[in-house]
Chains A and B, each alone.
Chain A
Amino acid sequence: MDVKRRTFMKALGLTAASTVLPGCDAEVRHLVPYVLPDDEIVPGIADWYASTCGECQAGCGIIVRVMEGRAKKIEGNPDHPLNQGKLCAQGQAALQRLYNPDRLQGPVLRTTAGSEGPLTATSWDDGVSRLAEKLRGADGQVIMISRPLSGTLAELLSTFVRSVGGKLFFYDPDSELSLRAAMQRGLGVPGIPQYDVAQATYLLSFGAPLLEQWVSPVAFGIAFGHMRQGRPTRRGRFVQIEPRLSLTGANADRWVPIRPGTEGLLALGIGRLLLTAGKADLPQKERAAFERFYGSIPLQEVATGTDIPLDQIKDMARTFADAEHPLAIGGGAACAHTNAFAAHLAINGLNALAGNLNREGGVRWYPDAPFPERTDVEWLSERRINELAQASAVGRQRPLLLLYDCNPLFTLPSTIPIRRLFTNASFIASFSSCLDESTAMADLILPDHSRLETWGDHVQDGSSPRRGASLIQPVVTPLYNTRALGETILDLTRRLHPETELPRTFAELLRKRWDGLATSGQSRPPASPSRWVQHLQKGGWWPSNSTTMQKLRTSFPAPAYEPAQFDGETSDFPLHFYPYPSPTLGQGRGANLPWLQELPDTLTSAIWGSWAEINPATARSYNIRQGDIVRVHSPHGSIDAPALHYPGIRPDVIAMPIGQGHIDYGRYASHRGANPLSILAPLFDAASGALALGATRIRLEPLAVPGDLVLLEHPGTKAGTDLLSIEKPRRAEG
């Protein structure tokens, strides 16, 4: 609790910046792309501001077109090394977060106890002082759950939560914790490294949805285009291994419909073949460990287990071994089982066997970050949340809960008693800018600005060869009486630790930290106002050339392969269930943006709702027509969704997109579709504790009543009106 000024400042990395900063003189201000005052706006002329996208953790650079003081369009920042002027659908739709009609317009307070009472507006002074009062009385029993943050805000928040004796957690259902854990164990890197897809010649993807909302979608999109057609003489081949053909899988040359949960087993088989073929270039000592690991399961067993013919496995292994730049990536469906960690070790080990670490077309890591990185914030796995919730149910402690921009009540199955963590909390404060299922439980909401109204920065992770940091800056004056989270935290700190000397604003804190950037070694010119302006105009700072690479080494032996566990008896629940993050709505975060709701799912053309994908053969055997409602029963509950005949799915699997089924997330998302997460079993990846999305078995009950499936293709007609089926008979006629 007792944090002296010195330690607070030191923790923020500010002690070095003691020189007086020159104020912005007139000339400088003219250059600064700060939000223009009204009298400097020329009607009809667009101003452009560089900033950083916040829709996923990748942190692409954006430029925002502003006219008459209103943001009009978000585009990719051409100077940014990550996305090079490109931007995904979600990044562009982020404009509708700024203008979302359901945004909270100021601080609100629940005056009666419990989550049922009405929310009433209050002032910022009242709201912040109430929270400060609660924090003072919490006696260190403070839990803060936030979406993963980066840069200055992460520093400030982590320092603050520690100063009140609490614990800060990052939580993101998309974080692929099992893959991260495998990377830490196998390669010793604290994140997902760079997969050099652009230079790969044979890409073997074990379920990795790299062309959807995964890790860094735009960067993978750019790399994919290059892999296919960017090199004059060669086109990279691409095989996707997953039980359900995803959007990424549709782009592969070959789709291998593997049995759910056996991705690691297949990797063992391929690794064994690589080793016996003598293709692996390993020191004798390591070789033995690799052989023990990959040789643990006979090939015939691999073929039976994975449901892939042995010849096909041999063919994949041969092609992988002979390719100039083979690359194995795991993710998505391979992250969805209780053995995900072990599977990723086996998949990543293939890169080591192929001698594919630290080189072009392979796996690389760049450790030099421009700012010292925070490594002490724990990433919450679903199992850890389960433990916290269980503990709060039995303990007498009633913690104070702080929430920021995450929605665990939606993204966790009801079998995890997360709701108890909420009902047991002595007080809940949320800083989210919209009501969602979790924030709706809060006693006090101090809404954050939209991304386009706020200051901040984002440090790129070690997958980026030109590893730098991007700046976030306000491009419009705030629409409402909201306040940036950084400002609220500074305000709280001032009230709780009046002795602390703090920067006046979060922007000042950010600026000081960036001025420190220039003096923290790495031969950069000294900080000056004009450099700051340059950073703002460019959208950040990146080294001009690739930074140093960390020499990656695989360390084996790893734990032995283990089969995936499933919940539900095969006799009662004959089918596998696989809820997958929607390519348009993600894990539900995008559901309150009308542009994304109306964006057709590419593979089904479905919009504004959810559906259950079923192999046409399975549908026939159950006598389920397209669009009819099916009831999906798991051992933990049931949901209804219209059936959609989907040719790209194993007959023993039913898949459903995650994202819909909100109860309380604004007018566009609420009471639309069903949330498949709600019926999942509490099964986790053994090593990382990540929720095993595909580990629940189900049975289907056809209800034989039409559902509200809205498809963009063939509205109201039978198939056969598309362009190719018109053209085909014409061609045949000659």
Chain B
Amino acid sequence: MSAGQEKTTEARPHRWQMVIDLDRCTGCEACVVACHAENNIRISGAQEAAEGRAINWIRIERYWEGEYPDVKAKFMPVLCQQCADAPCEPVCPVYASYHTPDGLNAQVYNRCIGVRYCGNNCPYTARQFNWFDPHWDPPLQEQLNPDVTVRQNGIMEKCTFCVQRIRQGKEQAEREGRPVRDGDITPACVQSCPSTALVFGDGNDPDSQVAQMSKSRRGFHLLESLGTHPAITYLKRLDE
């Protein structure tokens, strides 16, 4: 983390962060379905997907290394990096993408006018645009999570770190008159991950698991050279 970031974090109560241990990730995609179920992500179908219009807030990128027979495939879950210096934010003409006090890159759906500048500016392809209205064959709409808005045609959307769960966790802590404990809040992807490759928590709490793990020598950030200061730290997969 840069010195500048540390300075700005003092005023913030939380800095939500994630650590993704690539040595644990098996590419099983439990996180992907968890995200679809939690966040009412539309089902695109084969045709729209073939046109590049499918929506995934989290995807597993796969990298081939080497040539047969010494070939390896490596996985990397990629989702919105919730950058501290997010390229998507300053370009929005209507302040639909803005920085929350907790350090999240939020997307205010009812401000969004669909200019897609933010998606254009995101180096991680984390933002995805709704080119069509969502559709669920009845009664599949019954599965929709009432805590999460369904996005219509013309709206940009992306991973929110399951902001509805963060809010719920904070409210619960407030009701009980205590600070949010480490582990109280888990986004859907983190919760489902069988091998515990994903860990979530408050980076401003020095004792939290994320704060500890992000100090690992294996740690790196995605496209670090761009200076976006992501909230997600990846831990390198080890080789033999």
Partner-B contacts on A (CB < 8 A): 44, 67-68, 70-76, 83, 85-89, 92-93, 95-96, 99-101, 211-212, 217-218, 220-222, 224-225, 228-229, 235, 237, 245, 247-248, 250-251, 253-255, 257, 479, 583-584, 594-596, 598-600, 602-605, 607-609, 615-617, 647-651, 667, 672, 708, 710, 712-713, 715-716, 722-724, 726-727, 730-731
Partner of B60, one of A93, A600, A730: A600
**Cβ of B50 < 8 Å from any Cβ of A?**
yes
Q: How far is the CB of B131 from chain A (nearest CB, A)?
A: 13
Residues of A near B52 (CB, < 8 A) are 715-716
Complex interface: stretch among B1-9, B18-26, B89-97, B170-178: B18-26
**Cβ of B222 < 8 Å from any Cβ of A?**
yes
Q: Mark B167-200, 1 if CB is under 8 A from A, else 0.
A: 0000000000000000000001001111111000
Partner of A253, one of B26, B36, B63, B239: B239
Q: Please indicate which of the listed interface residues A100, A608, A726 has the most CB atoms of chain B within 10 Å of its own CB.
A: A608
State A650–B71 Cα separation when bound (angstroms): 11
**Cβ of B115 < 8 Å from any Cβ of A?**
no
Q: How far is the CB of A715 from chain B (nearest CB, A)?
A: 3
Residues of A near B21 (CB, < 8 A) are 229
Residues of B near A596 (CB, < 8 A) are 33
Residues of B near A228 (CB, < 8 A) are 23-24, 195, 238
Given known pairs A251-B27, A598-B49, A607-B46, the reply for A726 and B123 (CB within 8 Å) is yes
State A603–B73 Cα separation when bound (angstroms): 8
Q: How far is the CB of A42 from chain B (nearest CB, A)?
A: 13
The answer to whether A250 touches B54 (Cβ under 8 A) is no
Q: Please indicate which of the listed interface residues B44, B54, B76 has the most CB atoms of chain A within 10 Å of its own CB.
A: B54
State A178–B117 Cα separation when bound (angstroms): 57
Residues of A near B74 (CB, < 8 A) are 250
The answer to whether B62 touches A710 (Cβ under 8 A) is no
The answer to whether A96 touches B143 (Cβ under 8 A) is yes
The answer to whether A615 touches B68 (Cβ under 8 A) is yes
State A275–B191 Cα separation when bound (angstroms): 45
The answer to whether A605 touches B195 (Cβ under 8 A) is no
State A626–B129 Cα separation when bound (angstroms): 28
Partner of A723, one of B46, B64, B78, B137: B78
The answer to whether A723 touches B191 (Cβ under 8 A) is no
The answer to whether B71 touches A92 (Cβ under 8 A) is no
Q: How many residues of B contact A (CB 8 A)?
A: 65
For window 29-82 of chain B, which residues contact chain A by CB distance below 8 Å? 29-30, 32-34, 36-38, 43-46, 49-52, 54, 56, 59-64, 67-69, 71-76, 78
Given known pairs A603-B73, A608-B49, A712-B49, the reply for A92 and B33 (CB within 8 Å) is yes
Residues of B near A594 (CB, < 8 A) are 43, 140
Residues of B near A667 (CB, < 8 A) are 137
Given known pairs A89-B30, A92-B30, A237-B240, the reply for A101 and B140 (CB within 8 Å) is yes
**Cβ of B223 < 8 Å from any Cβ of A?**
yes
Q: How far is the CB of B135 from chain A (nearest CB, A)?
A: 11
The answer to whether B225 touches A730 (Cβ under 8 A) is yes
State A604–B62 Cα separation when bound (angstroms): 8
Residues of A near B27 (CB, < 8 A) are 211, 247, 250-251, 602-603
**Cβ of B124 < 8 Å from any Cβ of A?**
yes
Residues of B near A224 (CB, < 8 A) are 24, 26, 195
State A250–B237 Cα separation when bound (angstroms): 12
State A595–B34 Cα separation when bound (angstroms): 10
The answer to whether B68 touches A257 (Cβ under 8 A) is yes
Partner-A contacts on B (CB < 8 A): 21, 23-24, 26-30, 32-34, 36-38, 43-46, 49-52, 54, 56, 59-64, 67-69, 71-76, 78, 123-124, 137-140, 142-146, 188, 191-197, 222-223, 225, 238-240
State A228–B43 Cα separation when bound (angstroms): 35
Given known pairs A599-B29, A723-B124, the reply for A218 and B194 (CB within 8 Å) is yes
12 residue pairs from A and B, CB less than 8 Å apart: A68-B146, A75-B191, A86-B193, A211-B28, A225-B26, A225-B196, A225-B197, A250-B62, A257-B68, A647-B68, A648-B64, A712-B56
CB-CB nearest in chain B for A101 = B137
The answer to whether A229 touches B24 (Cβ under 8 A) is yes
The answer to whether A712 touches B54 (Cβ under 8 A) is yes
Q: A89-B30, A609-B46 are in contact. List 8 more A-B contacts (CB 8 A).
A: A86-B193, A87-B194, A89-B29, A217-B28, A250-B73, A598-B45, A602-B27, A615-B68
The answer to whether A67 touches B68 (Cβ under 8 A) is no
State A605–B78 Cα separation when bound (angstroms): 14
CB-CB nearest in chain B for A716 = B52
Q: Please indicate which of the listed interface residues B21, B137, B145, B192 has the most CB atoms of chain A within 10 Å of its own CB.
A: B192
Q: Please indicate which of the listed interface residues B139, B143, B195 has the most CB atoms of chain A within 10 Å of its own CB.
A: B195
State A75–B62 Cα separation when bound (angstroms): 26
Q: How far is the CB of A665 from chain B (nearest CB, A)?
A: 15
The answer to whether B28 touches A247 (Cβ under 8 A) is yes
Partner of B192, one of A92, A229, A584: A92
The answer to whether A712 touches B78 (Cβ under 8 A) is no
Residues of B near A583 (CB, < 8 A) are 28-29
The answer to whether A235 touches B238 (Cβ under 8 A) is yes
Q: Please indicate which of the listed interface residues A75, A99, A604 has the most CB atoms of chain B within 10 Å of its own CB.
A: A99
The answer to whether A89 touches B28 (Cβ under 8 A) is yes
Partner of B194, one of A225, A604, A713, A723: A225
Partner of A722, one of B61, B73, B195: B61
CB-CB nearest in chain B for A95 = B143
State A583–B73 Cα separation when bound (angstroms): 16
Q: How far is the CB of A190 from chain B (nearest CB, A)?
A: 27
State A715–B56 Cα separation when bound (angstroms): 14
CB-CB nearest in chain B for A87 = B192
Residues of B near A225 (CB, < 8 A) are 24, 26, 194-197
7 tightest Cβ-Cβ pairs between the two chains A and B: A221-B194, A225-B195, A715-B52, A608-B46, A250-B73, A602-B27, A253-B240
Q: How far is the CB of B139 from chain A (nearest CB, A)?
A: 5
State A594–B54 Cα separation when bound (angstroms): 13
Residues of A near B63 (CB, < 8 A) are 722, 724
Q: Please indicate which of the listed interface residues A83, A221, A584, A598 has the most CB atoms of chain B within 10 Å of its own CB.
A: A598
Residues of A near B78 (CB, < 8 A) are 723
State A648–B44 Cα separation when bound (angstroms): 29
